[in-house]
Amino acid sequence: MCEPIKVGILGLGKYLPEKILTNKDLEKIVDTTDEWIMSRTGIKERRIARDNEATSDMATEAARRALEAAKLKPEDIDLIIVATITPDMFFPATACLVQEKLGARTVPAFDVSVACSGFIYGIAIAKQFIASGVYKHALVVASEKLSSITDWTDRNTCVLFGDGAGAAVLGPVDRGGILSTYLGADGKQGELIKLPAGGSRIPATKKSIEDKLHFIKMNGSELFKHAVRIMADAALQATKPIGLKAEDINLVIPHQANVRILHAAAKRMGLSTDKIYLNIEKYGNMSAASSAVALVEAVEEGRIKRGDKILLDAFGGGLTWGAIVIEW
Ligand code: UT7
């Protein structure tokens, strides 16, 4: 019998827009303070894309860097998945735009729309195609321009979000790689965070714009409670079937929604907080791009060593969630 194909990450890349919006800047826009934002969320600043910079532009730049790191060319890619809730437009899919910008072959390209869990869903999908031998190399990009769907007059949400992109090239590896994947969703909780208009339910009208229905609406405190429970449970579901305990994980790369959520989830998992990688201070919540950029930076900073077992863990609108264990 053939050995199963092990799948791992061959290269990573990120792109963050240059413009930095600090909490002090936000103090001038809405009724908030640097102290409130820092103490309640852990966010100090976030990046904001240029007006003429769309999700596919950021995705393409992150993807180019991931390909370079993997020492591969765009023509080596057999599958392109973009995780985003801020696509350039409804269709074509942002993944198709990225394929064209990269100069990749006419390989399958599609978006996944599961909010902050998108990078993890993308990796889990790509892994199946590679493990089954259908494709060899997959590009998974998480890219978000959340500033384009943020209500800059709503202090409950505008202090939280930022823009950016992270990308991973997946392919066969000799050892380690992705050890387990776990995904879930609960549509009953969909009301907790959503963008109400612009789809077929409420197409764009003058009224939908006046009613500010094209911006993120969120019940923050309810989401907070679900997030803590979901992240701890997802970690368990991804580790237990492969015989790992929380203490076997060297580093958790979580979705960066709120430092308080991550500390509470770590406690529930029985992990010390120094095992939770954090970069929320610099970027805020970039939805799907958060865990992708966090993974890139954890590697850049030397926080992940060969042989380490890392846990990607995310939750988001839908609600959706997912966790992945990777042996580096
Ligand atoms: O990526 C996944 C999606 N998002 C999330 O996971 C977010 C999850 N939730 C959270 O991170 C937190 O719930 C928030 C950071 C959104 C809010 O923190 P909180 O500790 O749950 O605060 P709260 O919503 O209970 O609000 C407390 C107070 C309220 O004032 P009153 O009613 O007590 O007078 C808010 O109006 O804080 C007020 N407030 C603010 N004050 C200053 C809310 N936003 C701000 C602000 N600046 N930016």
pLDDT of residue 209: 97
- Contact present, 311 and 252 (Cβ < 8 Å): yes
Contacts of 7 (CB under 8 A, 6+ apart): 126, 127, 130, 131, 170, 171, 172, 173, 177, 178
Mutate to test the pocket of ligand 1, among 22, 119, 155, 156 (most ligand atoms within 8 A of CB): 156
116 catalytic, yes or no? yes
How sure is the predictor about 227, in pLDDT bands with cuts at 50, 70 and 90? very high
How sure is the predictor about 1, in pLDDT bands with cuts at 50, 70 and 90? low
pLDDT of residue 148: 98
279 catalytic, yes or no? no
96 catalytic, yes or no? no
pLDDT of residue 3: 76
Q: Which two tokens stand for residue 179?
A: 């050890």
State the closest ligand 1 atom to the C-alpha of 193, by its place in the atom list counted from 1.
3
| Cβ 224 under 6 angstroms from ligand 1 | yes
Taking residue 68's Cβ as centre, other Cβ atoms within 10 Å add up to: 13
- Contact present, 257 and 231 (Cβ < 8 Å): no
Going from N- to C-terminal start, the domains of the chain cover 7-174, 179-327
- What is the 27 CA–ligand 1 centroid distance (Å)? 15
What value does the mean pLDDT take over residues 311-322?
A: 97
pLDDT of residue 115: 98
| Cβ 159 under 6 angstroms from ligand 1 | yes
Rounded Cα gap, residues 326 and 310, in angstroms: 5
Alpha helix segments (H runs only) across the chain: 23-27, 34-41, 55-70, 94-102, 118-131, 155-158, 206-210, 220-239, 259-269, 280-283, 288-300
Q: Which of 23, 116, 158, 226 is flagged as catalytic?
A: 116
| Cβ 194 under 6 angstroms from ligand 1 | no
7-174 against 179-327: fold identical: yes
How sure is the predictor about 132, in pLDDT bands with cuts at 50, 70 and 90? very high
State the closest ligand 1 atom to the C-alpha of 255, by its place in the atom list counted from 1.
1
The protein residue with its alpha carbon nearest to ligand 1, atom 41, reads 32
| Cβ 110 under 6 angstroms from ligand 1 | no
| Cβ 40 under 6 angstroms from ligand 1 | yes
- Contact present, 63 and 83 (Cβ < 8 Å): no
- What is the 190 CA–ligand 1 centroid distance (Å)? 19
Decide: residue 157, CB within 10 A, 0-12 exposed, 13-18 middle, 19+ buried.
Answer: buried
Helix axes 94-102, 55-70, angle to 10 degrees: 50
pLDDT of residue 4: 86
Chain-centroid distance of CA 154 in Å reads: 23
The model's pLDDT over 17-29, given as tens digits with 9 standing for 90+, comes to 999 999 999 999 9
First to last CA, the chain: 26
Contacts of 15 (CB under 8 A, 6+ apart): 58, 59, 61, 62, 65, 143, 164, 165, 166
Rounded Cα gap, residues 211 and 205, in angstroms: 10
Residue 249 backbone zone (phi > 0: left; psi -120 to 50: alpha; other: beta): beta
The protein residue with its alpha carbon nearest to ligand 1, atom 10, reads 220
| Cβ 32 under 6 angstroms from ligand 1 | yes
What is the three-class DSSP state of 301? coil
- What is the 233 CA–ligand 1 centroid distance (Å)? 24
324, HSE (Cβ side, Cα atoms, 13 Å): 28
What value does the mean pLDDT take over residues 109-118?
A: 98
State the closest ligand 1 atom to the C-alpha of 260, by its place in the atom list counted from 1.
11
Q: Which two tokens stand for residue 92?
A: 């074509």
Q: Which residue has the tokens 């709120």?
A: 258
How sure is the predictor about 119, in pLDDT bands with cuts at 50, 70 and 90? very high
Rounded Cα gap, residues 105 and 78, in angstroms: 8
What is the three-class DSSP state of 166? strand
What value does the mean pLDDT take over residues 44-53?
A: 98
Query: Could you say which architecture CATH assigns to the domain 7-174?
Result: 3-Layer(aba) Sandwich (3.40)
The percentage of the chain sitting over the pLDDT mark of 70, rounded to a whole number, equals: 100
Average of per-residue pLDDT values in the chain = 97
Rounded Cα gap, residues 79 and 135, in angstroms: 7
What value does the mean pLDDT take over residues 103-109?
A: 98
Return the CATH number of 179-327, one of 3.40.47.10, 3.30.200.210, 3.30.2290.10, 3.90.1150.10.
3.40.47.10
The percentage of the chain sitting over the pLDDT mark of 90, rounded to a whole number, equals: 98
